[in-house]
Structure 1
Amino acid sequence: MNIIKKVTVKKIVTDDSKAQLSEEYQLKIFKLEQECEQLKFEQKKLEQRSASKKADIAVKFKKEITNRKDHIKWYTYKLEQLEILPIGSEMNDGEVEALITIEEGMNWDNLTEEKSIIVKDGIITKIT
């Protein structure tokens, strides 16, 4: 019988992976800032068209802009934490599902203990 089990993926932090993540976070921040500017522009455009619904439009756009600004804060925080993170440390990079074959007589406790895949610069270095 086969079962599906979640397996944690961990990355080992290297100079290359740190630089790549930093670039990724900065790009996301940049895109979110662009979206905020675009939303402000769209808000002004809509407010000029329908002056009677100005308050409703402002509320909706403010919510969207605030949502994006919260994401910007989150990525800024992640950038700060990335700078602190020492080279060689492990960081979680999500989960994948693994197909495991089970048979009668197998030790269930061994099957249920947490498994992980360790990746360094895109290469799997260890499977536990």
Structure 2
Amino acid sequence: MNIIQEIIVKQVVTPKSKQTLLNRFEQEKIKLEKEIDQLRFQSKKKDQGTNRGLVYKKEIDKRQEKIEVVEFQIQQLAILPLNSEIIESKAKGIVDVNVGDDWNQLMNNKTIVIEDGIVKEIR
């Protein structure tokens, strides 16, 4: 019988992966700033006397909070030591289960370790 199990994907921090993550964070920040500018522009076009102004403000505040999170991630990335492992994502995999298998061993979290885009280890 086959079951689906969650697999943790970890990334080894290298200079190349640090730069990739930094670029990703900066792109996300730029995207959020553009969305804020667009929302501000749209809010000026609309009637401010209605609830729409509040909706725009809430959306702008949400994006501003996301920018703060991204800025924190950039700060943490700067102090992250090389060769440490960070969780990048989670994936699902199929595990073959047979009568007599050790259930605890089957249910141990499986991990895939990636270094610069190449699978380095499967645990």
What displacement does 1:55 show?
Answer: 4.3
Matching of residues 12-51 of structure 1 within 5 Å: 12-47=12-47
What displacement does 1:114 show?
Answer: 1.4
Superposed CA deviations along residues 1-58 of structure 1, whole A, max 9, x for unmatched, are: 00111010000000001001101101110111111111111000112xxxxx524122
* Alpha-carbon separation, structure 2, partners of 1:57 and 1:106: 59
Q: 1:50 — aligned with what?
A: none
* Alpha-carbon separation, structure 1, partners of 2:16 and 2:79: 15
Instruction: Look up the SS of the partner of 1:91 in the other structure.
Output: strand
1:79 to 71, 74, 78: 74
* Alpha-carbon separation, structure 2, partners of 1:106 and 1:39: 56
TM-score (normalizing by structure 2): 0.96
Q: Which runs of 4+ in 1 moved over 2 A?
A: none
Aligned CA RMSD, in angstroms, stands at 0.9
Question: In proportion to residue count, which structure has more helix?
Answer: 1
Quick check: 1:126 aligned with 2:112?
Answer: no
Larger radius of gyration: 1
- Paired residues, what number? 123
What amino acid does structure 1 have at the position aligned with 2:110? Answer: K
What displacement does 1:115 show?
Answer: 1.2
Q: 1:95 — aligned with what?
A: 90
* Alpha-carbon separation, structure 1, partners of 2:95 and 2:34: 45
TM-score (normalizing by structure 1): 0.93
Over the matched positions of the two proteins, sequence identity in percent amounts to 34
